[in-house]
Structure 1
Amino acid sequence: MPAPTFHPISPAGLAAFCERLGHGFVDPNLLGQALTHRSWCAENAGYESNERLEFLGDAVLGMVVTDDIYALLPEAGEGQLSRVRAAVVCAPALAEMAVELSLGEVLLLGKGENSSGGRNRPSILADAMEAVIGAVYLDGGIAAAGELVARLVAPRLATAGAPDHKSRLHELAASEPNRSVEFRITEHGPEHDKTFEAVVVFDGVLMGVGVGRSKKQAEQAAAKETWQRLDHEHGDIPAREEATHG
């Protein structure tokens, strides 16, 4: 895949990012701009930051996700739709998407921002993720942007509004000094189409396994299985499921 003509990141690195992203740019300079933080622009003349693309990407993301959840949840009221959208269109979720794509590796950052850990800073990653979505929209239209957003957001929609079994397991383990819980993650498949498998080791015993399109989805599936097994075998937890908000 072609690399931005002015982007000082290696063409191989950008090509690998495009493969993870699942989009080959007709105008690779759009990708270069999406990956250019304002701190780089302050130190290097002739570059435009990703802030305008971030603004555009935010709007595109919101529109696509709203359309998707409106169709996915035909019985949901406005309140529930808003809560589900907020769970997947928020800075932490965007930063998580960026981490899954290793976006930080190809960001252009100023020296100070880079040395202070900017490549791993959630706010920078979330903004850059929106900018990349905006760049894909300008490069390939709403169809390309919608495909990207669907691929990134679909695993999160599967767990949005569901009981947070992972947090509940951590609370259970913390309730007694000798209890422990550990999540172990393995990845399978190519960069642009990964599947994640999580296992839960509770009190030193493997108790649950889960598979998902994101780490979070796999962890929640494994935690749910662990939660149910604990209840069945030991009666450690209530048998009921928490109701989703509606």
Structure 2
Amino acid sequence: MVMMFDLKRIKKFQDSFGIHFNNQDLLITALTHSSFINDFYQGNDVDLESNETLEFLGDAVIGMIVSKLLYDMFPKWNEGSLTKAKASIVSGSNLAKLSNQFELAQYIYMGKGEENSGGRTRTSNLANAFESLIGALFIDKGYDSCFDVIQKSINEDIKLLKNNSESDEIFGNYKGTLQEKLLSEKSNLPIYKVVSIQGPDHNPSFTVEVYINGKCLGLGVEKTKLLAEQRAAFNALNNPKTFSN
């Protein structure tokens, strides 16, 4: 399969990622969106898979490792607090942010239609690519390599959780925390705007932006409007521009 793809491109990604795969086909599969196969190889006798099954595996691996990190980092938190923290870290918008740390978007193989419709910036594609990458890494290198990558990737998320905890309990209400901090600095209160609602009625995806002093300082993409607002507030709290004068 490797010879069907740009080897220089694959090597460049591995150099930037800092890990070189033993099985190059696994990495290629992790970077292959289903639209690429539909556009270029549908009906052809080609042994090529999309990243969907690796995404399934990666989702489980990420969940397990994030759970372990939170369990070790916050030993006095109760189950509810740990569950909220995990949900925040493994949410689609946050995984897309982690994907951007490795500039995954430019390496994904996708069909022309998907790319022309904004596929390289679509949150779901970026999140799925990160999950697929971790799934491939788990098969190729094992648990320890995945643990190292995820631990480094979510370091800032862990710091933010620490900063928003009190008596070893997570606040969970990032909107309230953001508002309190802005009030303490005598700043204008945040304004939340729903910029899009996508997907079917039974499984919608809300995109919300939070504006402070007229500037968009946080974005959230979640399954409900409230969760998207909380995610936007979470990202605003983690944005150094939010509290800079």
Question: What TM-score results when the alignment is normalised by the length of structure 2?
Answer: 0.67
Q: 1:14 aligns with which of 6, 10, 14?
A: 10
Contact kept in structure 2, 1:155 and 1:217, CA below 8 Å: no
The separation in 1 between residues aligned to 2:20 and 2:83, in whole angstroms, is 32
1:134 matched to 2:131? The reply is no
> What residue is the counterpart of 2:196 in the other structure?
none
1:5 matched to 2:20? The reply is no
Amino acid at match of 1:172: S
> Radius of gyration: which is bigger?
1
Deviation of the 1:32 alpha carbon: 0.2
> How many residue pairs get matched?
189
Amino acid at match of 1:22: G
The separation in 2 between residues aligned to 1:94 and 1:51, in whole angstroms, is 16
Contact kept in structure 2, 1:95 and 1:125, CA below 8 Å: yes
Change in 2 beyond 3 A, CA 1:7/1:79: farther
The separation in 2 between residues aligned to 1:7 and 1:149, in whole angstroms, is 30
The separation in 2 between residues aligned to 1:77 and 1:6, in whole angstroms, is 51
Change in 2 beyond 3 A, CA 1:219/1:73: closer
Amino acid at match of 1:28: Q
The separation in 2 between residues aligned to 1:7 and 1:217, in whole angstroms, is 42
> What residue is the counterpart of 1:76 in the other structure?
77
Deviation of the 1:217 alpha carbon: 9.4
Q: Indicate the percent of aligned positions where both proteins have the same amino acid.
A: 29
> What residue is the counterpart of 1:104 in the other structure?
105
Contact kept in structure 1, 2:236 and 2:242, CA below 8 Å: no
The separation in 2 between residues aligned to 1:69 and 1:79, in whole angstroms, is 12
1:152 matched to 2:153? The reply is yes
Unaligned runs of 5+ in 2: 165-170, 191-211, 218-234
Change in 2 beyond 3 A, CA 1:223/1:43: closer
Deviation of the 1:101 alpha carbon: 1.3
> What residue is the counterpart of 1:143 in the other structure?
144
SS at match of 1:119: coil
| Per-residue deviation, residues 167-191 of structure 1 (Å, max 9, x unmatched) | 545993467xxx947699xxxxxxx
Question: What TM-score results when the alignment is normalised by the length of structure 1?
Answer: 0.67
Unaligned runs of 5+ in 1: 185-215, 231-246
Q: Report the aligned-residue RMSD.
A: 3.1
